[in-house]
A and B are shown apart, each in its own frame.
Chain A
Amino acid sequence: MRIAVCIKQVPDTTEVRMDPEKGTLVREGVESIVNPFDTYALEEGVRLKEAHGGEVVAVTMGPPQAEAALRECVSVGADEVVLVSDRAFAGSDTWATSYTLAAALKQVGFDLIICGKQAIDGDTAQVGPGMAVHLDLPQATYVRKVREVTAERLVVERLLEEGVEVMELPLPAMITVVKEINEPRLPSLKGKMRARKAEIRTITAGELDLPAGDLGLDGSPTRVMKIFAPAPREGGEVFEGEPEETTGKILSVLEKEGLV
């Protein structure tokens, strides 16, 4: 079974902050990491391969530095890695990203595509389903467990707000996964050594042969107009006094907020 896992190299967003006075991003020493949800997707792909045979291809669309993220994928079990990279892709929103990645995936070939639920920088969760439409695939999002897999179909459990939905999809298909699905393995020494020597296949815009107007910034229907700092959190009301009194006050505000 050929499993394609889409990953993204992102800044570690817990460290990225805006300076509210200057209105600029503060990025001192922020590490680039593999998007955490994607590590779960990759682990699931590797486990399915180990159980059922086949290979795992990790694919990313990004600048040349994303190579480091691909090597990390090799160190935890990816067999092949592909970097989809070209200046022409810069500025892509989720439409252009899913369009470009879908074209690349057609060339890479797959039976199943696994994505993480969302990227922790964009936080949209839109690229997976977008690719599914470009590639005309059925989809299952928020997958927390793969119950069964054969050459023709997949049975999965989806984690929804009110409970769990069990779904069957024919292959080829696209799924996005949540963190409940597994515990990603740590890179082993042999894995790291493989990663160092791994060959990275690159796909450029020329090889995809897509209309320039549909790529990058030009192909993106949405535009970011402004980035600003969220209003800094301010302290609210502090209640002092007898517990009987203070807890009563808290209970009524919680009720007002609809939290009780």
Chain B
Amino acid sequence: MELDYGLTEEQQMMKEVAREVAEKKLRPIAAEYDEKNEFPEELVSIFAESDLCGVYIPDEYGGSAGGTPTMNQCVVVEELSRACGGMSLAFAATGLGTLPIIISGSEEQKKKYLPDIAAGKRMAAFAITEANAGSDAAAVETVAVRDGDDYVLNGTKQWITNGGVADVYTVIAMTDKKKGARGASAFVVEKGTPGFEFGKKEDKLGIRASSTRELVFQDCRIPAENMLGKPGRGFMTAMGTFDASRPGVGAQAVGIAAGALDLAVNYSCTRRQFGKPVAANQGLGFMLADMAMRVEAARALVYATARFVDMKKGRATKYSAMSKCFASDMAMKVTVDAVQVFGGYGYMREYPVEKYMRDAKITQIYEGTNQIQRDEIAKALIKEAAGRSS
């Protein structure tokens, strides 16, 4: 029996479909692609056939958001992540790459890109990070220079999820360096555009089935209509994107932790030492109990935040940051504990649990490190206090 988070019938169906896909299609191939450090090509058709690709895309563009895109996405990402955090990322990162179009795109741009993404025909990726611009996102050095009816992009993006496999890239580039944070704009760049190449696939600790690559722009010429929103609004678009996507990272972390918890509980009930299952030892039982509480608390926070984002009543930054930070810190702790529950077998690559520990780590780092998240939360708290006292 699971806690009832008030899912609608449609959300319940999304969850069931995602769970079946995770168990029947993702889980059987997870270890292989983690070992090979390869992106599973079949993922594209697996996701497309499930009809899940459009759960966060508005209905009028072929999606099934039904007014609750963030909650839908979180439900699906959590289920997929239980089987593999790397493959679920391929799904979630497309969502991240598509959000700028939904948030800042014109009607024409939405009609042009969203239907194919909703149908699972095209994947997307979001590109802001660079070698010198990580937490300090405003230090972006990739430039987009206006030339007639085009913009010309030059620069290199680093560690872009779905790099090379996505067709649609939403890229943050500087259009007016003098204006600092207000000088960046968001663009759509399609794979295959001359001057747009990919660097090597990174060799990562975890989420190895996910394709992480550099994007190299060398005199890459794109039509001016590819700008999303107004010039200088790039960081606003990025912030809005993160507010909506961070609960998704939280959901991914919850899924990874939940998957590890299941493995740990099952193992501890079958592994026998001293004539009884190791779960019969209170010390271990307490560990499992703490893990279970952490997972459920994080899940509750993620879903409450997702709902809040969808209600659009106000800026969700504080809660988005909380859901991402809490869930990912929790997932790291739970997966490390899961390895501990497995004992020596937990340390062996042959057993599935150590992968969950490796996969969990990234959730504390990307889409804003947990230090940045705490910064956001603190700033929001102080602002609220200042607002009350004046």
Contacts and interface: CB of A to CB of B under 8 A. Distances in A.
Interface string B1-36: 000000001100110110011001100000000000
B17 A185 contact: no
B17 A186 contact: yes
A190 interface: yes
Chain B binding surface SS class: helix
B170 interface: no
B363 interface: no
A117 to B, nearest CB: 21
Given A192-B17, A193-B10, A193-B13, A185 B49 contact: yes
A191 B25 contact: no
A187 interface: yes
A191 B49 CA distance: 10
Q: Which of B9, B24, B51 has the most chain A CB atoms inside 10 A of its CB?
A: B51
A188 interface: yes
Interface in A185-225: 185-193, 196
Q: Which of B9, B50, B64 has the most chain A CB atoms inside 10 A of its CB?
A: B50
B96 to A, nearest CB: 20
Contact of A189 (B17, B24, B25): B17
B49 A186 contact: yes
A186 B13 contact: no
Contacts of A191: 51
Given A191-B51, A196-B9, A186 B16 contact: no
Contacts of B21: 186
B10 A188 contact: no
Interface in A132-189: 185-189
Given A193-B10, A193-B13, A196-B9, A187 B20 contact: yes
B52 interface: yes
A189 B50 contact: yes
B49 A188 contact: yes
B112 to A, nearest CB: 23
Interface of A: 185-193, 196
Given A185-B49, A188-B51, A189-B50, 18 more contacts: A186-B17, A186-B21, A186-B25, A186-B50, A187-B16, A188-B50, A189-B13, A189-B14, A189-B17, A189-B51, A189-B52, A189-B55, A189-B64, A191-B51, A192-B13, A193-B10, A193-B13, A196-B9
19 contacts: A185-B49, A186-B20, A186-B21, A186-B25, A186-B49, A186-B50, A187-B17, A187-B20, A188-B17, A188-B51, A189-B51, A189-B55, A190-B51, A191-B51, A192-B13, A192-B16, A193-B10, A193-B13, A196-B9
